Each structure stands twice: as structure tokens, then as C-alpha cells.
A and B are shown apart, each in its own frame.
Chain A
Amino acid sequence: MKFSDVLASLIHDMKNSLSMVVHTLDEVTSDPSFNYDRPERITALQNEARRLNNNLIELLTLYKIENERISPSIEDMDIDNFLQELVAENSASATANGISLAYECDPDLFGYFDEGLIRGVLNNLIGNGIRYTRDQLMLTAAQEEGYLVFRVEDNGDGYPEPMLRAQSSDESSADLVEGRTKLGLHFASMIAGMHENGERKGFIRLQNNYRLPGGCFSVWLP
């Protein structure tokens, strides 16, 4: 058995287990007869389970990029549907954390990208957003300067100044942050960069106070 097959089947099994954890927690919390005086602990469990799942997807994707030199499979995507599904996927978790999650885009907007890869990136960003925002998360998509731009905005404290400065210098912004965020940045920037159209390549950008008074993470796809 090849390592990639072992990895894939192990991940399949782990995801089955995780599905059970996530679904059972969802069922428990949506049951009106459920009475537990510290619901925030259940929410914390849900958050961790989701993060674990996002990390598993990230792990598998990185493995494939490294070992199987996959490149994006570009399809035409109905963006309104896509964002609607992302919100549906994350709304239970947002609600449990007391966060309002909304999306905005032109209902006629179509774009070209690899659905699976970009879904993974945006799910990660929403997961992080739920952790760092105060009580609002906003997901938007628009056509700007010849790019399709996805933005995940929050109303938290925003990105620290050194991180914002780093992206305009030669220094990689990823070098300035630690741990999970670093991996997340690396992942998003790599996947954006894998999307090419003619001479242009995709990229990511961090800024603060774009529309909401917090951080704004944008993914630009040519």
C-alpha cells in the first residue's frame, strides 16, 4: 500500500469520527430539552472539532501539492451559490459563538477557480474569524481590477501593524507570525498563487478597517 493511500484512508476514518462528533454536538445543542448550565463549553468543543477538520483538509491538500504536484482544476463557478453554501456550512458554529455571519455579492457573479481548494481556504479563514472577531463576520466577493476578490472581514481588533507592514516589504508576512496563523497564511497564499491566468497569478492581502472595523483578509484570483 502506498503512503498516500494509507494517508487517504486514515483521513477518511478520522473524518468519519469527526463527523460523528460534530453532528452529535449539533444535535445536542439544537435539542430544546437539552439543559446544560455551561453551553460555552459545548461551543468550545464544536469549535475545536471544526478546526481539527479544517486542519485535516489542509494537511491532505498540502501533502498532495507536495507529492503529486496537483494544480487547480479550474471550473466556472456560480459565486452566489458558493458563498451561500459556505455560510450554510458555518452558520451553526457562528450562531453558537454569538457571531452574525453574512455574505454579499452580485447574484449574477460567476468566477473561475478550483472549488475544493478555495473552499478549504475560505473555511479556514471563517474558522479563524470566528475566533478573533467581536460579533460580526462578513463574506464578500466582487470583480475588481480583473481579479475575482474574496474578502473575509471581522470587527475584532484587526491585524497587528508589523504583519500589515511586512506584506509590502520583501519580508514574507508569514515569517512574522507564529503557529497556526502562520500555517494558515502559508496555505492561503500558496493556493491563491497556484491560480494563474495568462501572466497573472493569484495572491492574498491583509488590511484593517476595510468595511468592518477589524481585519480584512482578501484572496485575489486572476
Chain B
Amino acid sequence: MASKIEQLSFLIVDDYGDFRGVLRNMLQSFGVQKIDSVANGREAISHIEANRYDVILCDYNLGEGRDGQQVLEEIRARKLIGPSTVFVMVTAENTRLMVMGAVEYEPDSYLTKPFTKDLLAQRLERLLMRKTDLLEIEQAIAHKDYDLANQLLDRRIADNPRNVNEFIKLKADLCLKAGAYDQAENIYSGVLMQREVAWARMGIGKAYYHNRRYTEAKSVFEGLIEANERFMAAYDWLARTLLALDEAEAAQKVLETATSHSAKAVVRQRTLGELALKNSDEKVAEKAFGQAIRMGKHSIYKHPSLYANLARAKAVTTSGDVGMKVLRDMQKAFKGDREADLYAAMTEAVIQEDMGNGQRARQCMVNAHEFYKELGTRAAPELALDMARTCNRMGEADRARELLQQAVKNNHSDELFLKEVGDTLSHLGLSDDPQAMIGDIKKGIVRLNNRGVELARVGKLDEAMLLFEEAVEGMPGNKVVNLNAARIFMLYMQEHGIDSRRLEQVREYLERVRGMAPEDRTLHKMQRLFSKLVRQ
């Protein structure tokens, strides 16, 4: 990537034809030859699917369809571009604060219109130098190899280069990602001791949150909003913190304020809608889900649950028939999608029941169970919650409890999710002591895991294998159990030779985990081990 600008390939994305021409002329005056230009997000995605670009210059406002941020989200989430591609967002005004840290995907740089040819050249040169400088580290992070990334960062920080703060920031962010919250907190507070800086203040709030120091986290995020009411990321984190403090209504208010400043973020609208439903505020929920669907039409965050929740809200605020109409819209928007069918069946069951059509409602539930079984381990964890709520609502309390117990078994190490399961259990009145119930299931799984690992450690690999094979059978959706099973099977094969049936089982375990948590670090380690084994 250390190559000169003229050797790179560029993609220009702008709905304004004259400006595409201007940019092309500028790039040509630098000697660039490989330039494609497109007018909208759809064309941008198809060009990026088909070609490799070194630099993408994308306008934020693209008229109808996706906006620049949605293009970026989609190409990063689908891994259509790697860390070596430079993405520059072109904006009309300084919108950085509106998105800073509020979104999962950020561009490498923002460029404000109008800019001169000289400024563009200057900026590109600096970005390319920075890319070269950081490429090794960014690649390690992209491959989830946090240990390597950390080593590289430590080495750079020890050199104390002039941009040492950039590496310190990366290191702290990495600590947050990897779950080393105490270390992250130390780094951020060290920076803040020198000087008040927005990224470090935000970072220390996140570290407090993860360390369950919610009151301190709350005052950090409140302070950031006090200083700047356009700091959107602070609202999202404040709402999360309030929720952790069991202040659901206050959390809803925070997100209502945030969406009144910026209605565009689909994820924020969705979170607001879910909160409002929880708080039985269907009016706010209706508005939020409506916005989420409208804004998310071309986004990777488009999802059937948005429609199902809108239907639920409308059935309360307006009428059952209006709710049913939303469900029909959903099935049009998600043709042939089993998950959407399931959401439609669940939601219709509740609406029909409320409208007094008991027989139709029960038929919908029969269909829902059928679809849920069909989805198997592909079903997202949250789906189990929705399904349990629906079952309970329809008088199938035992089935609801069973679903939630299974959800705990499948996700016993995901604390945030377990809290939701606990809330749902007590909210639905399915357990007097949800914490104890969840705790018992967790303990059982941890004990089982430990026994298996211990067996493997003392060399009784075949016994360990049997144990995990059985465990996976009982909780096919559990990430940790699947990964442990895969690991023990592979250890066994390393010692006793490859066995095609076992290899197939490992492949299935890993495939399942990939479906549930494609970003999991252990998964990536196991996959590397697996490819090595296959090559043998």
C-alpha cells in the first residue's frame, strides 16, 4: 500500500453527476488511471463486490436508497473490503460528532465539501501513509488475533513515535474488545490525567460500564451529553447503563431525546422501540419501529422483528386489522424467509387471540412451533425470548419455561442475555427465583465442561469425547460446548489419526458456532486448527 497515488484504483460514489466529474478530474490530474464512478449505494455495492478498490470516496447524501454510512456498514459487515482499503466519507458539513462512536463502522476519514485538489492530495497521502503504518495491526485485529495486535501495539508504544497517542487509543479500544476492562480503564484514566479528551472520556465510561460500576458510568455519559447534546454515542451508552440500573423508563426517555436529534440510526430506533414495548408505551414503540423500518430499508439492520414489533404496537394503538396489515407487508419484504414466517405466525397468534379468534390463534401457534423447530440452531437467541413470551401469552406456560431453560443452556456464558432471560422469567411469572434457576443450569454446564476438560487433560480423550458428544446433543445451540467438543475431537484425531466421520462432526460444530457468533475469537483459533488438520 506504500505505492504512489497514481497506481491506486478509486471508486467515486456521489449522486451529483457534476461532482463526480470534478472528482474524476482531480484524480486524473494526480495521474490516477483506474477510476470508477457510480451514482448510488446499490451500484456502489455491486461495483465493490466485483472489483477491488484501494480508495473509496463516498458522499454521505446519496438521495434515494442507501446513504454513505449504510454503504460503509454493508461493505464492512459483509467483508467486501479489508483493512487495506481506505474509505473516505464526503460530507457537506461537519457531521463527525453525530456519528462518532455511535456506529459500529467508521470511515478512515471525513472530508468536507468543497475541498481543493491540493487538500485532497494532501489528505490521501496522509491516509495512505497511516494505512501502511497501521496495516499489520489492523489486519491482526480483523483476524481476531488480539494477542498479536497487542504485541505489535506495545512495540510501537515503546518506540514512542510522535503519534504515540494513536497507538495508545488503539490499545485501549482493543482492551475493551478483548474484555480486559481494568487495563482499558487504566489506560483511559492515564490519558485523562494529562488532558480532557473526548475519546478517552467516552472510553472510561465504557470501561466503568463493563466493570459494573454503573453509577460512575452514568455520570460520565451524562457529563458528555451536558457538554455536547449532539454526542450521539453518549446517549446510547447512557441508555444501556440506565437499563443495567433497572431504570427502563429513564432509559427510554434518553433514547427519545437522542432520536429527536438524529432519527436516522436504525439500531437506536430499534432499541428505543423494544424499550417502549417493555414499558407498555405502544405509541412511542409504534413511531420507533416505523422509523427503523423506513430508515433500515436498505440497511444490514433490516429484520423481521422490526415489523413484528410494529404490528404488536399498532394492534394496541389502532386495531388488530392494522397490525395484520403490517404482517402482510413483512411477508412481502421477506419472501421465503423462515424467520419472517415464524415472526408472522407468533405475532398473528397474539393478535388473533386478542381479537377473539381463538381457533385461528391456535393454528398460528402450531405453525410457529413447526417453523421454530425447522430453524434449529440457526435461530437467534433473542428469538427464544420472543417465542417464550408468545407461548406464555397463549397459555402455554410450560412450553415457555422450557424454551427459556433451553435458552440458558444454549447461552450460559452470555451474561447480558442471561439477564434478559431472568427478566423475562420473572416478568412472565414463570419462576419465583429466576436467578437461582439460571444459576443452577449454569453450574451444571460449567461442571460438565470442567469434567470434560479435566478428562482430556489426564489423557482420557475418548471419555471426554463421549461426554461432549452427549452435551452437544442436549444443548446444540451452546457456543462453548460446541467449541469444546470440536477441540477435544481434534485433539483426539491429532493423536489417533483422521477419521472422516469425526471430521464431519467437527465441521458441523464449527459451522454452528459460525452461524451464532462469526466473530468469536476461539472459533477463529479452532478454525485454524481445523484447516491444519484437514491439510494433513
Contacting pair B162 A19 (CB below 8 A): no
- Whole-angstrom distance between the Cβ of B529 and the nearest chain A Cβ: 41
- In the assembled complex, the Cα of A85 lies from the Cα of B16 at a distance in Å of 25
**Interface 9-mer from A20-28, A126-134, A152-160:** A20-28
Instruction: Report yes or no: A19 in contact with B230, Cβ–Cβ below 8 A.
Output: no
In the assembled complex, 23 residue pairs joining A and B whose CB atoms fall closer than 8 Å, in A order, are A11-B93, A15-B92, A16-B113, A18-B114, A22-B114, A23-B25, A24-B22, A27-B22, A57-B93, A70-B230, A71-B228, A73-B231, A74-B195, A74-B196, A75-B197, A76-B197, A78-B162, A88-B118, A90-B116, A91-B116, A112-B195, A112-B197, A197-B195
Distance of A112 Cα from B114 Cα, bound (Å): 25
Complex: chain B residue closest to A16, CB-CB: B16
Give, as a whole number of angstroms, the nearest-CB distance from A126 to chain B. 12
Q: A84 an interface residue at 8 Å Cβ cutoff?
A: yes
Q: Please report the C-alpha to C-alpha distance between residue A48 and residue B113 in the assembled complex, in whole angstroms.
A: 16
**Is chain A's binding surface mostly helix, strand, loop or mixed?**
helix
Q: Is the CB of B198 within 8 A of A75?
A: yes
Say yes or no: B116 contacts A89, CB within 8 Å.
yes
**Residue B30 at the chain A interface, CB threshold 8 Å:** no
Cβ of A11 and Cβ of B92 under 8 Å apart?
Answer: yes
Give the shortest distance, in Å, between B165 (CB) and chain A (any CB). 5
- B118 contact from A27, A92, A107, A110, Cβ within 8 A: A92
Instruction: Say if the beta carbon of A60 comes within 8 Å of chain B.
Output: yes
Residues of A within 8 A of B196 (CB): 74, 197
Question: A68 interface residue, CB < 8 Å from B?
Answer: yes
Q: A71-B228, A116-B94 are in contact. Are A108 and B119 (CB under 8 A)?
A: no
A24–chain B nearest beta-carbon distance, Å: 8
CB neighbors of A among B1-53 (8 A): 16, 18-19, 22, 25-26, 29
How far apart sit A171 and B92, CA to CA, in the bound complex (Å)? 37
Which residues of chain A (153-205) have a CB below 8 Å from chain B?
A: 197
Q: How far is the CA of A24 from the CA of B21 in the complex (A)?
A: 10
Task: Tell yes or no: B229 within 8 A of A by CB.
Answer: yes
Residue of A nearest to B96 (CB): A116
Q: A100 contacts the other chain (Cβ, under 8 Å)?
A: no
Chain B residues numbered 104-150 whose CB sits less than 8 Å from any CB in chain A: 112-119, 121-123, 126
A68 and B231: CB pair below 8 A?
no
In the docked arrangement, what's the CA distance between A59 and B382, Å?
Answer: 47
Q: Are B121 and A88 in contact (CB under 8 A)?
A: yes
Q: Contact at A110–B92, with CB atoms within 8 Å? A: no
**Which of B92, B94, B115 interacts with A16 by CB under 8 Å?**
B92
Q: A12 on the interface (CB 8 Å rule)?
A: yes
A8 near B: Cβ within 8 Å? yes
A38 within 8 A of B: no
**In whole angstroms, how far apart are the Cα atoms of A16 and B61 in the complex?**
11
Contact B25 A53 (CB under 8 A): no
Given A68-B229, A70-B97, A73-B231, 20 further pairs, Cβ under 8 A: A8-B92, A11-B92, A11-B93, A19-B19, A19-B113, A22-B114, A23-B22, A23-B114, A27-B22, A30-B29, A69-B229, A73-B96, A74-B195, A74-B198, A75-B198, A75-B199, A89-B119, A92-B116, A116-B94, A197-B196
Contacts of A74 in B (CB 8 A): 195-198
- B449 → chain A closest CB, angstroms: 45
Whether B227 is near chain A, meaning CB under 8 Å from some CB there, is yes
With the chains together, A24 CA to B113 CA distance in Å? 14
State whether B22 touches A19 (Cβ < 8 A). Answer: yes
B163 at interface, CB cutoff 8 A:
yes
B93 touches A12 (CB 8 A): yes
9 residue pairs, one from A and one from B, having the closest CB atoms:
A19-B114, A12-B92, A88-B118, A116-B94, A88-B122, A23-B22, A89-B119, A88-B119, A15-B92
* Whole-angstrom CA separation of A109 from B25 in the bound complex: 34
Which chain A residues border B25 with CB–CB below 8 Å? 23, 27
> In the docked arrangement, what's the CA distance between A135 and B97, Å?
38
Q: What is the bound-complex CA distance between A71 and B196, given in angstroms?
A: 13
User: With the chains together, A197 CA to B117 CA distance in Å?
Assistant: 36
List the A side residues contacting B115 at CB < 8 Å: 89
The verdict on A15 contacting B114 (CB below 8 Å), with A70-B230, A73-B231 known, is yes
Out of A53, A70, A75, name the residue touching B229 (CB < 8 Å). Answer: A70
Query: Are B18 and A20 in contact, with the CB atoms below 8 A?
Result: yes
- Contact check: which of B97, B113, B197 meets A15 at CB < 8 Å? B113
Which B residues are CB-close (under 8 A) to A91?
116, 118
- Binary interface encoding of chain B residues 395-409 relative to chain A, with 1 for a CB under 8 A from any of its CBs, else 0: 000000000000000
Q: B116 contacts A108, CB within 8 Å? A: no
Closest chain B residue, CB of each to CB of A8: B93
On chain B, the residues within 8 Å of A20 by CB distance are: 18-19, 22
Residues of A within 8 A of B93 (CB): 8, 11-12, 15, 57, 60
- CB <8 Å contact, A88 and B228: no
Chain B residues closer than 8 Å to A26, beta-carbon distance: 116-117
User: Measured between alpha carbons, how far is A53 from B123 in the docked complex, in Å?
Assistant: 20
Q: How far is the CB of A192 from chain B (nearest CB, A)?
A: 17
Interface positions of A from 16 to 74, Cβ below 8 Å from B: 16, 18-20, 22-24, 26-27, 30, 53, 57, 60, 64, 68-71, 73-74
Residue of A at shortest CB range from B22?
A23
- Contact partner of A53 (CB less than 8 A), chosen from B114, B118, B126, B198, is B114
Which residues on the A side are within 8 Å of B116 (C-beta)? 22, 26, 88-92
Contact status B163-A78, CB under 8 Å: yes
Question: What is the bound-complex CA distance between A64 and B229, given in angstroms?
Answer: 11
Distance of A88 Cα from B230 Cα, bound (Å): 30
Contacts of B231 in A (CB 8 A): 73
Distance (whole angstroms) from the CB of B8 to the closest CB of chain A = 19
Q: Which of B94, B123, B162 has the most CB of A within 10 A?
A: B94
Q: Which A residue sits closest to B18, measured CB to CB?
A: A20
Least CB separation from B21: chain A residue: A23
| Given A20-B19, A20-B22, A76-B165: A84 touches B122 (CB 8 Å cut-off) | yes
Q: Which of A80-116 contact B (CB under 8 A)?
A: 81, 84-85, 88-92, 107-108, 110, 112, 116
Chain B CB count within 10 A is highest, among A24, A76, A110, A112, for A76
Q: Are A73 and B198 in contact (CB under 8 A)?
A: yes
A107 proximity list for chain B (CB < 8 A)? 162
Question: When A16-B92, A78-B162, A91-B118 are in contact, do A73 and B228 touch as well, CB less than 8 Å?
Answer: yes
From B118, B119, B227, contact of A71 by CB (8 A)? B227
Q: How far is the CB of B168 from chain A (nearest CB, A)?
A: 10
Which residues of B lie under 8 Å from residue A64 when comparing CB positions?
A: 230
